[in-house]
Amino acid sequence: MIIPNDPFIGTHYIGREEVKAAKKVLKSKSLFRYQGPKLLYKTDEFESNMKKYLSVKYVLACSNGGSAIKLCCIANGVGPGDEVLMSPFTFIASANSVLACGAVPKFVDIDETMNINPDEIEKNIGPNTKAILVIHMQGQPCDMPKIMKIAKKNKLIVIEDTAQAFGAEINGKKAGTIGDCGAFSLQAGKTITSGEGGFLATNNKKIYEFAKMYHDNGGFRVGCNYPIWENKKTIFGENFKITELQSAIANEQLKKIDMILKHQKNNYNYLINKIDKEFYTIRPCVSNSKLVYSNIAFEFHTQNECNQFIKYMNTYGIGFNIYCNNLINQYDTFKYKTSWHNSKFPYNISKYQQTKCPKAESLFKRVAWFSLSASLKKKHLKYIIQKLEEYKNEF
């Protein structure tokens, strides 16, 4: 049996509803959110529904998760000379978005939850630290109560990269709504999807308005009117707007969120309840958190043990793997301070310094991941459990 590592959670729920919604937008010939012959206001609808779901005051839909992070940074005044504390265990987009603002990341170690270690945040705060970019990795929320306390004490901005954790909660609050603002992704591998796309959530009107201007080429737009660039409010900006087609699809996906999360949790529990937890060390999570259950992760004592397990599972067609080949702080951009500009911007002004993250370096090589998605049927789960049991007995 072949059971590939399939991280495409929302993708599997694309059905008649999404097709119908997309068709309607195409028939309207109004794909641009602010104008068209028969505008359906699908982006407004998505933002309004998302506000309700997240219980926040403001949501701004945008082109992708990376642009949402950049908007969060910019709207909070993160820029050249600033340092942003973040974990190196993430997707490169988290750090690229910080660099794109002219700031630099300062990589801070993780703890056994594989998310940023709050104690390490405190140790790494320096004179240039402006913000903490918390990344809720692989559907699991960071320790937000601790992080918020540290941020408050040190007057730091908290931005939540919730690209991989839409639907997760901590203490009954949705991940991405606890800090100053949250960035979300609608890319194909996320809880809900429109292929590409993203959004920002905040309770702060100023942040929302600033982000809204920046994402619309810095223009000040009222309703669907043409933006104004001559009113002393405007800033320079970029085009990070979402399309009506994406919003229409994302809207239908959002209607399915409870069903998606329930299915994820059921699959996770089915597996977890049937494996030997003495032998398999499951990735721990912070208390009072609700996960997306987008994957199952086992920690092994050594890299060799982990590789041996992965090899065994792969031999039987089960796509366990390590998360990535390297931590992002080991990528060339940080090793060699590479940039699109020969001045080496922003490394040249923000004094980027490499930091050591021993726990992350050790853990990422010793943890085997397997994505859980709706493509997994009971027979697949049973097969995985059988192979996990056989591996345990063999080694």
Ligand X SMILES: Cc1ncc(COP(=O)(O)O)c(C=O)c1O
Bridge-based pairing of strands 173-174 and 169-170 is antiparallel
Nearer to ligand X by Cβ, of 69 and 368: the residue is 69
Angstrom distances, CA of residue 111 to CA of 74, 255, 303: 28, 35, 17
Neighbours of 194 (CB within 10 A): 27
Which range, of 63-71, 212-220, 286-294, 313-321, touches ligand X by CB under 6 A?
Answer: 63-71
# residues near ligand X by CB under 6 A: 14
Tokens read off for 135 = 């990344």
Q: Which helix (H) or strand (E) holds 53?
A: helix 42-54
- Using CB under 6 A as the binding rule, whether residue 160 contacts ligand X is answered as no
DSSP annotation of 111 reads: -
Is residue 141 within the footprint of ligand X (CB under 6 A)? no
Nearer to ligand X, 30 or 194 (CB): 194
Q: What distance lies between CA 127 and its chain's CA centroid?
A: 28
Q: Does 93 bind ligand X (CB under 6 A)?
A: yes
Distance between CA atoms of 33 and 54, rounded to whole angstroms?
22
Site string for ligand X, 226-265 (x = CB under 6 A): ----------------------------------------
391 exposed, middle or buried (CB, 10 Å; 0-12, 13-18, 19+)?
middle
Q: Taking the complex as a whole, how short is the minimal distance between the CB of residue 91 and ligand X, in angstroms? A: 4
Applying CB under 6 A, among 78, 135, 168, 200 the residue interacting with ligand X is 135
Least CB distance from residue 105 to ligand X, whole Å?
12
Nearer to ligand X, 157 or 165 (CB): 165
Q: How far is the CB of 182 from ligand X (least distance, A)?
A: 11
* Separation between Cα atoms, residue 211 and residue 378, nearest integer Å: 44
**Encoded amino acid at 92, one letter:** I
Asked whether position 161 contacts ligand X by CB under 6 A, the answer is yes
Asked if 183 and 200 count as a contact pair (C-beta separation under 8 A), the reply is yes
Residue closer to ligand X by CB (options 60, 163) is 163
CB 160 to ligand X: min, Å:
10
185 binds ligand X, rule: CB under 6 A: yes
Choose between 54 and 69: whose C-beta lies nearer to ligand X. 69
Instruction: Kindly tell me which residue out of 117, 164, 202, 329 binds ligand X, with binding defined by CB under 6 A.
Output: 164
Task: Please state, in angstroms and rounded to a whole number, the distance separating the CA atoms of residues 367 and 388.
Answer: 15
Nearer to ligand X, 65 or 237 (CB): 65
Candidates 15-23, 42-50, 58-66, 326-334; binding stretch for ligand X (CB under 6 A): 58-66
Backbone φ and ψ of 147, nearest 5°: -65, -40
Residue nearest to ligand X as judged by C-beta position: 65
User: Are 261 and 191 contacting, i.e. CB atoms less than 8 angstroms apart?
Assistant: yes
The Cα 316–Cα 1 span in angstroms is: 7
Residues that bind ligand X (CB under 6 A): 64-66, 90-91, 93-94, 135, 161, 163-164, 185, 187, 198
